[in-house]
Amino acid sequence: MIRANGPGALLVIVPAFNEEGAIGPVVRSVKEAVPGVPVLVIDDCSGDSTVALATEAGAAILSLPHHLGLGGCLQAGYKLAYELGYEYVIRVDGDGQHDPRDIPRLLERLRQTDCEMVIGCRISGDGAWRTGWVRALGIWFFRLMLRPILGKPVRDPTSGFVGVNRRALDVFSHSFPLEYPEIETLVVLQRRRFRFEEIPCRMRPRLAGRSTLTARKSMYYLVHVLLGVFVNVLKYEHRGHRPPKP
């Protein structure tokens, strides 16, 4: 069972929706990379054998009663981690694209820098990541747009390989974007004057399935994220969540 074992405890969360082709190896490779660290698979009401295979591989399961989408699914995991007292949570995608051997580096950076979020950046480093030109153009556009909002450059704002600390967990338990959360999350944190860091990470091809972002959905994604970013920029936020001044 997953229970935070003392201060500084880490939980790895894996949001999954119909990932039976990859979830077993993903959970096993996380357990190999960080032995003793609990793995929580958040099942977004899969219709296949995702839950059975994840359980068999040794993961704890958080089963949502109906499909919520990626944001709702992730927030459920963050809420549980916060309630159970975890200090750090690292998200790994259920399709096998993230290399769990990078988890210790993400954790190390979270601990060393005390920043609220560390992003596993897919652009540089070993195992350089290749993507289609449309997506590359989209990422370039978002980098350009986020630069003045965040006050610093971000190389890979759409990466799902992300580690957060307890201060970010507290915020995410209350406020988390429900669709396409990666970019909006950065703005949510920035509004609280939280910090993020990026480290280059290896990427692997999907073990199974394909991206849910079709050409039509990409346009919807673009508009949705743009709107989400500007809503978050304009939103009035309570000052209670800002970190204390050093």
In the complex, minimum distance from the CB of residue 214 to another protein, in angstroms, rounded to a whole number:
24
Residues 6+ apart with CB under 8 A from 226: 145
Residue number, 60 or 119, with CB nearest to another protein: 60
In the complex, minimum distance from the CB of residue 43 to another protein, in angstroms, rounded to a whole number:
9
Specify whether the CB–CB gap between 95 and 19 falls below 8 A.
yes
SS3 assignment, position 242: coil
In the complex, minimum distance from the CB of residue 157 to another protein, in angstroms, rounded to a whole number:
24
Residue number, 3 or 193, with CB nearest to another protein: 3
SS3 assignment, position 127: coil
Residue number, 140 or 230, with CB nearest to another protein: 230
Residue number, 38 or 100, with CB nearest to another protein: 38
Task: Write out the residues near another protein by the rule CB under 8 A.
Answer: 1, 3, 60-66, 68, 72, 75-76, 79-80, 83, 178
Q: Count CA atoms within 13 Å of residue 55 on its CB side.
A: 8
In the complex, minimum distance from the CB of residue 13 to another protein, in angstroms, rounded to a whole number:
13
User: Is residue 224 within a helix (H) or strand (E), and if so which, with residue range?
Assistant: helix 215-234
In the complex, minimum distance from the CB of residue 36 to another protein, in angstroms, rounded to a whole number:
18
Residue number, 62 or 201, with CB nearest to another protein: 62
Q: Which two three-digit tokens encode residue 100?
A: 């769990």
In the complex, minimum distance from the CB of residue 149 to another protein, in angstroms, rounded to a whole number:
24
Q: Rounded to 5, what percent of the chain is helix, strand, coil?
A: 45, 15, 40
Q: Which two three-digit tokens encode residue 122?
A: 């897919």
Residue number, 55 or 218, with CB nearest to another protein: 55
User: Is residue 119 within a helix (H) or strand (E), and if so which, with residue range?
Assistant: strand 117-121
Residue 116: exposure state from Cβ atoms within 10 A (0-12, 13-18, ≥19): buried
What are the helix and strand counts (H, E) for the chain? 8, 7
Specify whether the CB–CB gap between 227 and 146 falls below 8 A.
no
Beta bridge partners of 12: 39, 90
In the complex, minimum distance from the CB of residue 45 to another protein, in angstroms, rounded to a whole number:
9
Eight-class DSSP state of 213 = -
